[in-house]
Amino acid sequence: MNIEDKLQEQIIKAIKEVYKADVNPSEITLQKTKKEFKGHYTLITFPLLKISKKSPEQTAHEIGTYLSNKLPFISEFNVIKGFLNLSISSSMWIEELMKINNTPDFGFTPVTNKSPLYMVEYSSPNTNKPLHLGHVRNNLLGHSLSEILKANGVKVVKTNLVNDRGIHICKSMVAWKKWGNGETPQSSGKKGDHLVGDYYVLFEKNYKAEIEELMKQGLSKEEAEKKSPLMQEAREMLRRWEAGDPEVVALWEMMNQWVYEGFDETYKKLGITFDKVYYESQTYLVGKEMVLEGVKKGIFYQKEDGSVWADLTPYGLDHKLLLRADGTSVYITQDIGTAKLRFDDYPIDKMIYVVGNEQNYHFQVLAILLDMLGFKFGKGLLHFSYGMVELPEGKMKSREGTVVDADDLIDEMIDTAREISKELGKLDECSPEETEEIVTMIGMGALKYFILKVDPKKNMTFDPKESIDFDGNTGPFIQYTHARIKSVLRKAAEQGIEIPKKPDTSVLLSEKEKGLVQLLADFANIVKQAGEEYNISLIANYVYDLAKEYNQFYHDFPILREENTALRDFRLLLSKNIASIIKRGMSLLGIEVPERM
C-alpha cells in the first residue's frame, strides 16, 4: 500500500471517529499539494461538509488534528480555506523509495491469461510511395500506445493493414511500364519504396500535363480527367488486376515486393514491429460478400445502376456508398471485411484504429455498419484519432513529391545528433563504434520524443532543430540526464561504495528529496492514466518533469561528496531509481537511453 492509499484509509477512519459517519471512498479527494503551498498531499474537504455540518476550515482542522495525532508519518499540517495540506515525514518517504527499489516492475501491471486482448492497428501505408513524416507520427503513436496498454496488463496484438490494391498502385505500375526501361531497386541503387514512389510522382506529373493540354482544347476539368489516356490506362490496369490477369498480377506482385522490402528497412530504423499484417487485396472480397449478404437480408439496398448503399439517416448521417455500379468495392467495404477476418482470427476484446482525424467520419460509419450487420464488436471499435503533423514550412503533398520522406528525416536527425554531440564534446571519450550507436540513439530519441510529447489529438509542427536541443523538453535532455546518473553510479562503484537496499530511515531529507520520491511514486498512476485515457504525452511529459527535477537536485545537492554517509547512500539509491524509471518511461515511448554520453 502506497502513501496515498494509506492516507485515504486513515481519512475514512478519521471521519468515522470524528463525525460518527461512514463515507464513500469516491468522496475522498486527495491530490498533490500545489507547489506554492507547504505539504505533499491535499485533502479537499468540500465534499465532506454534508457529513461534518461545519465550515470547510473547521472540518479541515478537525481531520488534520486527528490524523497528526494518530499517524506518526504526518509531520505537520496546515489549512488554507477548505484545503487540508499534509506533510509526510522523511522516514515514510525513505520507506516508499525502498518499496519502489524492491519492485523490479514498479508501475507496470503483469499480463496474465485472464488479461483482455486489444488489437491495435497502425501504419496502414499505401504501396505506391515510401513512408513520410505523417506515417512516422502514426507508427510512433501506434507502437507507444501498444507498449502503454501492455504496461497496464493488457494483451496486445499489433497489426498493420497494407493498402496494396487500388488505382494508386496502378498509377505507379503504368508509369513504370511506360518509362521504366526495366529499372529495379538493384539496378538503380534506390530503396524499393522510393523507386515505386518516384513512378507515382512521374505519373501524376504527366497526368497533370495531359489535363492542361485537354483543357486548352476546350474541355472542362472534369471532362479532361475522364478523357485522360493515362488515367484510362490506370483504370484498365485496375480492371485487369481485379479480373486476375496474370501479367498485371505478376507486375503488381513484383512492385509491391520492392515496396515491402523498403518499408521493412524504415520500420527497423524506427524500431517498429507488428504481430500480424493484413493486406487489403486479401480482405476486400470478404467485405464485398458481406455487403451483398446485407442486401439479401434487407440491411442495405441496391440502386438500378447496381450500386449498393446503406441508409444511415436513422443515425443522423447520410446514405453511404458500399459498392460501386461496376461492382468494385470502396474503402469502407474493405474495412468491413478486414474487421470480420480479425475477429475470426483473435478473441478481441477491443479493436483500436490509430488513424488521423480526417477519418473521424469513416470510423463512425464503420462502427454503425458492423453493428447493422449484427457484429457484437461493432459499437466497441475505438478510433484513436490524432492530429496532423507539419514542418515549419507548411503542408506536404505526396502527388507533387514534396512530402518529407521518413528515411531522409531519420538520416537528417542522426546527422544532426552527430554534429551537435561533436560540438558539445559529449562523446569525446567514446570509441567510434560507441559514438555511432549513441548518435543514432540521440537522433531517434529526439525525433520520437518531440512527436510523442504532444497531445495526440492536437495538430503539431515538427521542428528538427528544436527537437535535438540538449536543454529543454527534448529527448536528448532526458537521455543526457540518464547518462549523467549512470556516470554518478559508476563513480560510486569505482570508489567501492555499495548502495544499500535498506537505507537509514532516521535521515532527514530536504523538501527537494521528498518531492523527488513523491514524483517517482507517481509513475504508477501516470502509466495507469495514460492507458485509460489513451494519452501517450502524459508519459513523455512525466519523464521530462522527473529528469528536470533531478537535474536541479544534482546541481544543488552533493551526492558522492556528501559527508553524511547515510544521506549519501540515500541519494545514490534515489538516483539509481530515477535512472530506472526514466529508462522504463522512455521504453514506453520506444526510446532507448544511453549508459554514457
pLDDT reported for residue 329:
81
Cell of 87: 506533510
Q: What is the mean pLDDT of residues 337-353?
A: 94
Task: Flag whether pLDDT at 177 surpasses 90.
Answer: yes
Partnered with residue 309 across adjacent β-strands are: 301, 321
Q: In sequence order, what DSSP letters do the residues of 342-406 get, joined into one string?
A: HHHHS--SEEEEEEEGGGHHHHHHHHHHHHHTT-TTGGG-EEEEE--EEBTTB---TTTT-S-BH
Q: What is the mean pLDDT of residues 26-39?
A: 92
> Which segment of 106-120, 176-190, 191-205, 366-380 scores lowest on mean pLDDT?
366-380
What span, in angstroms and rounded, lies between the C-alpha atoms of 403 and 132?
6
Q: What is the mean pLDDT of residues 392-416?
A: 72
| DSSP-assigned letter for residue 34 | P
Q: 505 in helix, strand or coil?
A: coil
- CA-nearest of 417, 399, 529, 397 to 476 is 417
Residue 155 makes CB contacts below 8 A (sequence gap 6+) with 111, 115, 116, 117, 118
Task: Flag whether pLDDT at 394 surpasses 60.
Answer: no
H-type alpha helices, 495-536? 511-521, 523-533
What span, in angstroms and rounded, lies between the C-alpha atoms of 64 and 7?
11
Using a pLDDT cut of 70, give the percent of the chain over it: 98
Confidence label for 489 from pLDDT (cuts 50, 70 and 90)? very high
Task: Flag whether pLDDT at 395 surpasses 70.
Answer: no
How far apart, in Å, do the first and last CA atoms of the chain sit?
Answer: 37
List of domains in the chain: 3-88 (3.30.1360.70), 407-588 (1.10.730.10)
Is residue 272 within 8 A of residue 139, CB to CB? The reply is yes
CA distances from 462 to 94, 222, 420 (A): 41, 36, 18
Task: Flag whether pLDDT at 160 surpasses 60.
Answer: yes
pLDDT reported for residue 432:
87
What span, in angstroms and rounded, lies between the C-alpha atoms of 85 and 79?
6
- CA 590, 596, 597 angle in degrees (round to 5)? 90
Confidence label for 10 from pLDDT (cuts 50, 70 and 90)? very high
Is residue 389 within 8 A of residue 404, CB to CB? The reply is no
| DSSP-assigned letter for residue 559 | S
Cell of 428: 569525446
- CA-nearest of 130, 133, 127, 123 to 410 is 133
Q: Per-residue pLDDT tens for 79-134?
A: 998 899 999 999 999 999 999 999 999 999 999 999 999 999 999 999 998 999 99
What span, in angstroms and rounded, lies between the C-alpha atoms of 552 and 556?
6
pLDDT reported for residue 400:
47
What span, in angstroms and rounded, lies between the C-alpha atoms of 24 and 51?
11
pLDDT reported for residue 402:
54
Q: Per-residue pLDDT tens for 309-328?
A: 999 999 999 999 999 888 88
Mean pLDDT for the chain? Answer: 93
Residue 281 makes CB contacts below 8 A (sequence gap 6+) with 164, 165
What span, in angstroms and rounded, lies between the C-alpha atoms of 374 and 498?
63
Return the higher-pLDDT residue of 285 and 481. Answer: 481
Confidence label for 232 from pLDDT (cuts 50, 70 and 90)? very high
Tell me which residue has cell 480555506.
81
Tell me the one-letter amino acid at 394: G
- CA-nearest of 453, 450, 474 to 463 is 450
Confidence label for 382 from pLDDT (cuts 50, 70 and 90)? very high
Q: Per-residue pLDDT tens for 418-440?
A: 988 888 887 787 888 889 999 99
- CA-nearest of 272, 269, 589, 271 to 411 is 269
Q: 536 in helix, strand or coil?
A: coil
Cell of 359: 477519418
Partnered with residue 405 across adjacent β-strands are: 132
Q: Per-residue pLDDT tens for 505-543?
A: 999 999 999 999 999 999 999 999 999 999 999 999 999
pLDDT reported for residue 327:
81
Taking the CA atoms of the chain, what radius of gyration do you get in angstroms?
A: 30
Cell of 279: 493486406
